[in-house]
Amino acid sequence: MPSRLLIVSFSVCPAPDRHGVGLLNVLKALAGRYSVDVLTLRPASGELPFVERFMKTRMLRVPVGHGPLGEQVEAFRRAIKRQLEGEEYEVVHVRSAWGGRAVLQGVQAPMKVVYEVARSTEGEPRAADAQLAASLAEEEAECLTHADLVLVPTENARGHLLKTDPRDGRVFVVPPGVDIDHFDWEPAPSGDASHKIVYAGRISAGRGVRLLLGAVELVKQRRPIKLTLAGPVDESFQPLLDEAIARGGLGDDVELLGAIDHDDIPRVIARAAVCVAPSSPDSTDRPLAGFPTKLLEYMACRRAVVAPRRSSVQEVLADGTEGLLFTPGDQEDLARAIGRLLDDSALRDAIAEAGYQRVRDDHPASSTRRRLLEAYARLLPASEWAPPGKGATPIDALPSHPDTTTARRAIPEGLAQGERSGEIVIPPSAPIEIPVVPGEIVIEAVDFATAGEPFDTAQAFADDYRTSPEAPEADDRPVRPRKPAG
């Protein structure tokens, strides 16, 4: 039997942000070799099911409500506690510190803990919430101290941890990767795109968006420029964004696309001459931080990039050849870098091509998955893996979608008179022969039966984790009944 894994991630899956993309790489690497459960967040919109078969895993989504971040974290911790009480695992993989303390308290030998240093985009405390930020730092420190395996995104992060113990064999580098072919297909846009720049990502406080708007205002003083912001805008940040656009007189020069489907991101990036990963003036160069995944996506689309001069970023691109770096928080330096690329098409093309080659050579998603499996080989026997699934016949080999499944509609042997078949009502006097196309494909939503989950289990999960204002209290029952002793 393959080893059982629980992956804990304070994030929504699937999601187009860097944490969501990183989780997909983890699932692709591990789900084919182990029996994997995944504990993630259920969006407040309710658009994703509580329980779902997703990429060969059992995805368990926890509704944490609309309240403050601290309350959401507590709801997630309770869910982890119940899951560990009700199930047995060989390894628990923690993808961000939120929830790590609950994991460490719930694991029992010989269970192992993997801590992946990757802060969730859903769980970043606001700058004003110093107490919550301190709590996150404490939880991160506990995970670093007690985990059996620590995964870091960069060599700089590994070096930082090894300063404490140079012989620490628990630390393993698994750099982020990008699905090259997902981005490397859009042709150059028709018309003149030499004045267009793009930022793709969440639009919220602490991400340097207002710094970018200020830089665009400076560039606009001497040449035409258009800025596209592609990503969801946090409700609390919307007034600040509107004010910054109005103050700079950028109303006609800024395009707000809102949330973009991940499959459409290459089309958005392809419209740009330059792509930017800004940095907030008050953000610090955290030694354990990874480089923004959006940089890899920009580079995979053959676009010149501008990024902050940080140690993690410098691991993925060389200043002046694979991108241009600016001093974090320096609006004028950012404007100079953008203007230089917009003015010099030869430099822009050379940087775009060099960055493209760098990401293909060093940061494909396949390399990330390979490194993750090498790390896991330190904890679990390499021979323990789930056998490959049975191959699909050509008529079943359709592109899969996380929310749908394909099924072949059986050819009915016959229909009783008066029954309805599709849009055809068979009158009592009509012949019983109904033309049916052999092998007709039906796309239908996944239900609990086709997903292999008994309905009562899924319903118990929904009941256990419901935290809406209408039903704020949750009991302590596990997701599934505890296995009887012996």
Q: Tens of pLDDT along 88-136?
A: 999 999 998 888 999 999 998 899 999 998 776 666 666 567 888 888 8
Domains of the chain: 4-177+366-386+451-465 (3.40.50.2000), 180-363 (3.40.50.2000), 404-445 (no CATH)
Phi, psi for residue 79 in degrees, rounded to 5: -65, -40
Burial class (CB in 10 A: 0-12, 13-18, 19+), 449: exposed
Among 85-94, 109-118, 390-399, 409-418, the minimum mean pLDDT is found in: 409-418
Whether the upstream peptide bond of residue 14 has omega within 30° of 0, thus cis, is: yes
Closest CA to 61 of 368, 402, 373, 399: 402
Contact 290, 214 (CB under 8 A): no
Burial class (CB in 10 A: 0-12, 13-18, 19+), 201: buried
pLDDT per residue as tens digits for the range 152-192? 988 888 988 888 777 778 999 998 898 888 888 777 766 66
Q: Is the pLDDT of residue 374 over 70?
A: yes
Q: Between β-strands 196-200 and 226-230, what pairing exists: parallel, antiparallel or unpaired?
A: parallel
- For 383, list phi and psi in degrees, rounded to 5: -80, -15
Q: How does 316-341 read in b/e, with b if 16+ C-beta sit within 10 Å?
A: bbeeeebbbbbebbbbebbbbbbbeb
* pLDDT band for position 277 (cuts 50, 70, 90): very high
Higher pLDDT, 263 or 148: 148
The span from the CA of 76 to the CA of 10, in Å, is 8
pLDDT on residue 127? 59
Beta bridge partners of 8: 39, 94
Instruction: Taking residues 14-33, report their average pLDDT.
Output: 84
Rounded Cα–Cα distance for residues 338 and 274 (Å): 7
Report the mean per-residue pLDDT for the chain: 79
Q: Which residue has the tokens 């991108």?
A: 323
**221-225, 275-279, 292-296, 378-382: range with lowest mean pLDDT:** 378-382
Amino acid sitting at position 185 = W
CA distance 9 to 14: 12
Q: How far apart are CA 85 and CA 355, in angstroms?
A: 48
d(C-alpha 92, C-alpha 436), whole Å = 49
**Is the CA virtual torsion 309, 311, 313, 317 positive or negative?**
positive
Quick one: pLDDT at residue 293? 82
Report d(CA 212, CA 342) in Å as an integer.
15
Q: Please say whether the beta carbons of 357 and 307 come within 8 A.
A: no
- The mean pLDDT value for 437-455 works out to 43
Whether 291 has a pLDDT exceeding 50, the answer reads yes
For range 37-53, the mean pLDDT: 89
The average pLDDT across 19-24 equals: 83
pLDDT value of residue 209: 94
Q: 308-312 — which CB contacts under 8 Å span 24+ positions? A: 308/208, 308/277, 308/278, 308/279, 310/279, 310/285, 311/154, 311/156, 311/285, 311/287, 312/153, 312/154, 312/156, 312/157, 312/285
Residue 485 predicted with pLDDT over 50:
no
Amino acid at 175: P
What was the pLDDT predicted at 212?
96
**pLDDT above 90 as % of the chain:** 46
Give the whole-angstrom CA distance, residue 224 versus residue 329.
Answer: 23
**Which pLDDT value is given to residue 133?**
82
Specify the range with the lowest mean pLDDT, choosing from 211-215, 299-303, 478-482.
478-482
Alpha-carbon distance of 177 to 159, in angstroms, equals 20
Identify the pLDDT of residue 81.
94
* pLDDT given for residue 123 in this prediction: 63
- pLDDT value at residue 383: 52
